[in-house]
Amino acid sequence: MRILAIISGEYGRRHVENIRSHGPEDWEIEIWQPPTALPPLIDDPEDYLPESLPQVDLILSFAEHPGVAELLPEIVKRTGARAVIAAIDNEAWLPRGLARQLRGWLQKIGVACATPKPLCSLTQTHYRIARRQEMEYSDPLISEFAGHFGQPELKVTVDPETRRIVSAEVQRDAVCGCARYVSSGLVGLSAGEAEEKAGMRHHHYPCLASMGEDTDYDDTLMHVSGNMIKDNVGTQVKAFKEIRYIVPRGRDK
């Protein structure tokens, strides 16, 4: 698969480095960095695009400016891309209304578009856009990407006798590599402490999703992201947690 990643800074660079390091060997990834200064409203996209862009199958937009969304339909036409993933890890970079417009613009020209909020909510069939609100999609290119990178999925194995984790394999990494980092610190932990430790390692990586309050979730996107990997680990270790009973004084006989 041929991929064009649009990046503005460290946020996008980390994503690209992780994809290149751990994605399929036959994926080819090119990078384009848009102008740092874009106007609030873009009348002519050609004024801000290079003379040529590579021919690709999938576009990954990790841009940190809402103006890039207005450039994407023209970028799609120039690259021949058949699908777009536009990350929303910060409402300021791609506001919900603009994300909705972007999906509509691309749908009109027959191009699939996913706008996962946060980016690590992407699966092979759907993604989140708000609390208890998901969008389903059907596109082989986005699905292929999401099979490797998206909503973190670890396979945690617990020794039933010691109740400690003996292995933690990455089935699907977050695009930024956070799930791989979290998994590397789980082996040896007790089932009772694994979920909390997973959340701490997620924050210490650190997650680059916004720490500002997001009205679609009434929470920060960093916390939403952290809860997903905590839930993934917590579900798998739940049966092995040691339950402690507190007996009131006088009733222990």
In this structure, is residue 249 part of a structural domain? no
CB atoms within 10 A of CB 34: 20
**Does one domain contain both 158 and 57?**
no
Same domain, 203 and 91: no
Q: Which domain holds residue 166?
A: 153-240
Is 75 within 8 Å of 48 (Cβ atoms)? no
Question: How sure is the predictor about 183, in pLDDT bands with cuts at 50, 70 and 90?
Answer: very high
Q: Report whether 144 contacts 162 (CB < 8 A).
A: no
Task: Specify which residues 127 forms β-bridges with.
Answer: 135
Is 245 inside any structural domain? no
Q: What is the CATH number of the domain that holds 83?
A: 3.40.50.720
Residue in 196, 19, 219 with CA at minimum distance from that of residue 118: 219
The identity of residue 156, as a single letter, is V
Check whether residue 205 and residue 183 sit in a common domain.
yes
Q: Are residues 58 and 115 in the same domain?
A: yes
How are the residues of the chain apportioned to helix, strand and coil, as percentages rounded to the nearest 5?
A: 35, 20, 40
pLDDT at 39: 65
Give the domain-ending residue among 111, 146, 181.
Answer: 146
Residue 209 CA to residue 221 CA, distance in Å, equals 6
- Domain boundary pick from 121, 146, 171: 146
Percent of the chain at pLDDT exceeding 70: 94
Q: Does residue 196 share a domain with residue 117?
A: no
pLDDT in tens, 93-121: 999 999 999 999 999 999 999 999 999 99
**Domain co-membership, 14 together with 83:** yes
Q: Is residue 129 located within the same domain as residue 158?
A: no
Last residue of a domain, one of 102, 119, 146: 146
221-237 vs 191-204: helix crossing angle, rounded to 10: 160
CA 141 to each of CA 45, 113, 146: distance values in angstroms, whole numbers, following the listed order: 25, 10, 9
pLDDT tens across 185-240, in order?
999 999 999 999 999 999 999 999 999 999 999 999 999 999 999 999 999 999 99
